Amino acid sequence: MTLTFPNPSRSFDETRKAVRFTGYDDMAQVPFIIEAEALSISGRTAESESECLTAFDAARGSIQSAARKAYSRGRGNPYTLTVADF
């Protein structure tokens, strides 16, 4: 079970106030959501779309690491990353 992130795209989900991104396990897409509150942990305010996307980009490595851990535990589809994951 190797989760990779070859596609750097991400999008803001206005309804959930979160950022959506996708990982891949071989050929299978694995959807993720990271809540804005979790993005704020990096020290940046993450409330608006641009703030959330900027915070995501700045913390991409640690977010992907947390996503791999969540995926290895099999927590759901989509996998939701919260403050507790950091």
Q: What is the model's pLDDT at position 77?
A: 82
The pLDDT value given to residue 61: 95
> What digits encode the pLDDT tens for the residues 21-71?
999 998 899 999 999 999 987 676 788 999 999 999 999 999 999 999 999
pLDDT at 76: 79
- Beta strands 18-25 and 28-35, pairing class: antiparallel
Domain 3-85 - what CATH class?
alpha beta
Count of C-beta atoms within a 10 Å radius of residue 28? 8
Q: How confident is the model at residue 1 (pLDDT cuts 50, 70, 90)?
A: low
Question: Does the predicted TM-score (pTM) go above 0.85?
Answer: yes
Q: How many CA atoms lie within 13 A of 73 on its CB side?
A: 12
Stretch 75-81: mean pLDDT: 86
